[in-house]
């Protein structure tokens, strides 16, 4: 069964450093998403991406964040200058359509620890 | 603002029914969802309910929706140890609850 994969599973970085979280969505999917979950808190929507551009983003997704689909298979989330409060699980998801009935398939997540 | 609330923890014995509750605030939500997260894994969509329905049954899962009270519940019949996970409810705009950790005691 096709699945969304994410690398690395755990990333430790120092405050102020740039990190890139990688995701390989399901191959025929067209819509891509990033979410984050701070430990003990809710899963929060960050951004959705379609046709090589951001289609929607939340208030969390500020100028420190960017997304890219560099090569037709990977979907990346870059945090330019990490802060302690960026420590969280980051989930990537993909779907083959947009709208309430299209299931988003989630990856296993990358745990980001900022020290 | 949009907010989805859940109790944090539920413990049941194997074979019993589990009921996980959720309250939401966005009355415009067209669909409401239940996701399951097993340890070390991503979120898996379990089921969803359209807002004009009161109930949806899918094998061992029953979703009840009270639109007036903005209350959603997930009932798992004959709970198994494999059902141990965190369960999230979510509104249409993918606003998730905090998750309910279900522990099934053999």
Residues of A in contact with B97 (CB under 8 A): 42
pLDDT at B66 over 60: yes
pLDDT for position B65: 95
pLDDT grade, residue B84 (50/70/90)?
very high
pLDDT at A12 over 70: yes
CA distances from B63 to A96, A107, B51, B57, B58 (A): 25, 25, 11, 6, 8
pLDDT at B1 over 70: no
CB pairs under 8 A between A and B: 43
Q: What is the rounded CA–CA span in Å between residue A107 and residue A93? A: 6
Q: Do A45 and B88 touch (CB under 8 A)?
A: no
pLDDT for position A46: 95
CB of A103 less than 8 A from some CB of B: yes
CB of A59 less than 8 A from some CB of B: no
Note whether A4 and A105 are within 8 A (CB): yes
Q: What is the rounded CA–CA span in Å between residue A6 and residue A99? A: 24
CB of B44 less than 8 A from some CB of A: yes
pLDDT at B55 over 90: yes
């Amino acid at each position: 069964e096709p699945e969304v994969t994410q690398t690395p599973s755990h990333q430790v970085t120092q405050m102020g450093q740039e990190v890139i979280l990688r995701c390989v969505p399901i191959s025929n999917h067209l819509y891509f998403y990033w979410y984050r979950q701070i430990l003990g808190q809710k899963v929060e929507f960050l951004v959705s991406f379609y046709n090589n551009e951001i289609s929607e983003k939340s208030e969390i997704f500020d100028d420190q964040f960017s997304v890219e689909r560099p090569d037709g298979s990977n979907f990346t989330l870059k945090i330019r200058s990490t802060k302690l409060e960026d420590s969280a699980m980051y989930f990537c998801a993909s779907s083959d359509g947009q709208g309430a009935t299209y299931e988003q398939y989630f990856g296993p997540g990358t745990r980001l620890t900022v020290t | 603002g949009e907010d989805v609330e859940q109790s944090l923890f539920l413990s049941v014995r194997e074979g019993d029914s589990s009921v996980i509750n959720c309250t939401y605030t966005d009355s415009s939500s067209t669909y409401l969802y239940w996701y399951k997260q097993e340890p070390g894994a991503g979120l898996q969509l379990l089921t969803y309910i359209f807002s004009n329905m009161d109930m949806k049954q899918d094998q061992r899962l029953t979703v009840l929706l009270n639109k007036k009270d903005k209350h959603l519940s997930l009932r798992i019949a004959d709970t198994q140890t494999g059902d141990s996970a965190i369960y999230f409810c979510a509104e249409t705009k993918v606003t998730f609850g905090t998750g309910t950790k279900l522990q099934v005691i053999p």
